[in-house]
Amino acid sequence: MAQAYIVAAVRTAGGKRGGRLSGWHPVDLAARVLDELVDRTGIDPARVEDVIMGCVSQAGEQSTNVARNAVLASKLPESVPGTSVDRQCGSSQQALHFAAQAVMAGSMDVVIAAGVESMSRVPMFTPSALPQKNGLGYYMSPNIRRRYEGVPDFSQFMGAEMIGRKYQLSRDDVDEYAYHSHQRAIAATREGRFDDEILPVEVRTADGAGTAEMHTVDEGIRFDVTREGIGGVKLLQEGGIISAANASQICDGATGVMVVSEKALKELGLTPLARIHHMTMIGHDPVIMLEAPIPATVQALKKAGLRIDDIDLFEVNEAFAPVPLAWLQVTGADPERLNVNGGAIALGHPLGASGTKLMTTLVHALGKRNKRYGLQTMCEGGGMANVTIIERL
């Protein structure tokens, strides 16, 4: 079977809402990532055959096919097409799957999978909230409401609480996990583990004007974090376990990976960072919603003929702390191999950009630790999950 290889992977450092990246138009920020992927590989930009870009809030500045717009704002020629993907939080991980599938099918040789989300400029829930406000209706149709009678909405926040109850996780459990996410991110930053994967971009003010200062450190990391401080944050609902401190942070960012065929490796003289070993996608209960990475991981390992202990590093998106904790509980994975550089609780979760963000971190972490297999999975709105297994080369 034909193989797909990752030859470059890059991301911006995350920006807080209203923070150091909020002055960037998301199209221009995504374009910088496309340019960097071309620069790192040294290929002719015209060799890129498609750009597949994840984005959740496809409205306003992120509307009208943000992928194509990013191409037009980049150094890529007009001949390069682009298409935008919305699989909720797994959007750019799905973009990676589509890119790899195109290469493995033999229809393309060089594809960029990317993601962008400016949660400062296009707030979360904009695509569903604004139409409803303007009388254009809501996504939950009569048939959905009949099928899920008594469920007013599919809520990620309620899903996180449901997972906490199902797996008997306490407030202390999730707060402790959140504290360690920050500790790991702090250590990774101070030790320079993110240096190779982060694309420095200039800080821009609210009016879009550039400054002399470069943004190179994930803005969400709380370098003065304390366990007591996390525990003191108000819960989202009385009697629950979820707070803003043990959930992923709103974040601005752009990320991307270049995927090529074996033919392109030889013709263009490229060095592979990793090979796409396996891809899985499943649907699951949309009410509890965030549990899907568990059965998706079990299915992926079975199909790939691997055991959990064969995987050297895991990236499980920290949408909420109960998600990776429940995943650990069921899979029996070694917690020391999970999110070794911290996760979205500390680094931020730029929605549609998070899939290739996690993959970028996973590829570089495998290289730095001289490890072989990495597995990435993400919970997604609507009760879905992607799993990608890669082999470092």
Within 10 angstroms of residue 332's Cβ, the number of other Cβ atoms is: 9
Verify whether residue 55 is a known catalytic residue: no
Residue 265 identity: L
Verify whether residue 182 is a known catalytic residue: no
3-class secondary-structure state, position 368: helix
Catalytic residue among 55, 215, 251, 379: 379
What radius of gyration do the chain's Cα atoms show? 20
Cβ proximity of 115 and 356 under 8 Å: yes
Cα distances from 201 to residues 34, 57, 257, in angstroms, run 13, 23, 17
3-class secondary-structure state, position 313: strand
Cα–Cα distance between 183 and 151 in angstroms, integer?
38
Torsion angle in degrees (nearest 10) through CA of 91, 97, 101, 107:
50
Verify whether residue 89 is a known catalytic residue: yes
Catalytic residue among 97, 277, 349, 364: 349
Torsion angle in degrees (nearest 10) through CA of 363, 364, 367, 368:
-150
Burial label for 330, CB within 10 Å (0-12, 13-18, 19+), is middle
Catalytic residue among 89, 182, 284, 364: 89
Q: Which residues are catalytic?
A: 89, 349, 379
